[in-house]
Structure 1
Amino acid sequence: MRHRPSLPLLFSLLFGLAACGSEAPIVAPADSGPAVDASALTDVATRSDAPSVFDVGNATDVPSVIDVGNDSGAPSDAATPPRDGPLPGLGAVSGACGTLRSMLRSPAPSLVENALGFMAGERYDRLLLSAGGRRLYDTPNAGGSSTESEVFSYEVLYRCEDAALVATETEVMYQPADDAGANSITDLLVSIGGERVGVSVTRAYRPIPMVLTEANARDLLRTKLVGINRSSMRVLPAQRWVKQILHVFAVDMSAAQAVSRAWASLDAATRADTIVLVTVTRGGGFIYCNPDPALGSECPSL
């Protein structure tokens, strides 16, 4: 049975509504998000723990990006970098970042520069690496003492290009060896923007007081690029990549400039469509020499 409210109660309700005033309540739009206190937001540039960034050199001497030819074949979403700036990690990454995706479908070769700096007190600690970096750290390569450069090649690509590790050096499969040319292999296979990309890593370095000359750099690049072209022919279809990156770690800006000049002097067949990524290091002697010097320091002189 339904009870009617008494008249005194109705009068009380009406009186209470009138006392609320004539202003309409403020209603948030249906699509508005939760309120945010602007004072709680911190600009990364002002954070005391933000990594320092150093200049990779005079842009008039060595452009940070050189693209030779028409890149109209790039994916439609390639022009949009995955984020503003690199992901955090061990070492400070600066320079060109988020640029390689737009080059993956281009038939032209490219040269790109960025930088990686380490500070005294930092440690080459497995736990400070990404999941892919830890996997490379734990995996024996096919020979040599290049583990550090391969680990940090992946770290730079992961932090700048959203790369995901697909296969390590010993997991990439090739056709049987033959006598048609060098049976070169690539160092790692990654995915960038959903595209498989082979990565070969090298180091532009000579111990002090020796200097890496343009001729030295040309010999290094020619050997590595010819090997890249050969491994691209030999990789099995299931792992075939759209392009390869030759990742060159340069011990200083002088070495990076020698690499840039040498690359420009190579013939088109050798450069092919390979992206050459030159990463200039500071305080990264452990990438080049053994025994490893502390992070933040360079290799000792002879």
Structure 2
Amino acid sequence: MLDVPLTLADHYAIHLARDRRRSEHTVRAYRATASRLLTFLSAHWGEEADRARLARIDAADLRAYLAHRRGAGSSGGAGLANASAARELSAIRGFLDWAGGTGAAPRLRGPRVRKGVPRPIAPHEAVALATDVAEDSDEPWVAARDWAVLLLLYGTGLRIGEAVTLPGAVLPLGETLRVTGKRAKTRVVPLLAEVRAAIERYAALCPWPLASGEPLFRGVKGGALSPGVVRLKVRGARARLGLGERTTPHALRHSFATHLLGRGADLRALQELLGHASLSSTQVYTAVDAAHLLDVYRAAHPRG
């Protein structure tokens, strides 16, 4: 059986994973974007879209591609919204700069996107959510696990992917936790006593050995806990509690950030805690009313 040669999109994916240390999800998404672009351009130009031909791409070609992607006929469904189109254009620029060198991508103004304001959930909603998810399980160790995971997200601002990939090596816990985030960057976050106690209780009940090289949070069959399982459990709990669709695992991260900012946390310090590469990503939280956040933070963390 002959080996299938790697495409330009495949080589780009290898570059992202090996040289840029991007996450598996990012690599998969960017590879798909590059592949879609190459397929479109080959048909659009009537010739193969190789590196040499990509060097001659212009803004009109990109506009044609975006029009194709935003049109309902491109996939048989609804076209891309502004935010999705902007993300697609950003991914394309990265691919073209890799293929032809920095600055190779034609200058093209992207669609205007209205920046959204993070929507945290109230402290009592966060606690009710974690409680309901835990109580929905008949297995004591699974209930302890779910409570620990959600309390960890709310108490440290971790991304769900960061939480479920924590290794058993973090045990025994101290007053801080070393976390590996996007692009393999590490940061140190403080652990509240309540969060530490929840994780320790789970560890004591877990039927699987939590060796240093194994995942800390386990699924029911002993493998690593999947983020999808946590999202599914949260979805079920919010339906039972009558909470809005914004009540997601990621909303707990928003709550952590907005509560701290409302309490007067320094933006640079918050950037470090969240693992944001750019301060602009952290600054969006300043759009939330600080006075309200101070009240919310005091209700959530009376000793904070």
When the two structures are superposed, what TM-score results if normalisation uses the length of structure 1?
Answer: 0.24
The higher radius of gyration belongs to 1
Q: Which has the higher contact order (CA 8 A, sep 6+)?
A: 1
Higher strand residue share: 1
Higher helix residue share: 2
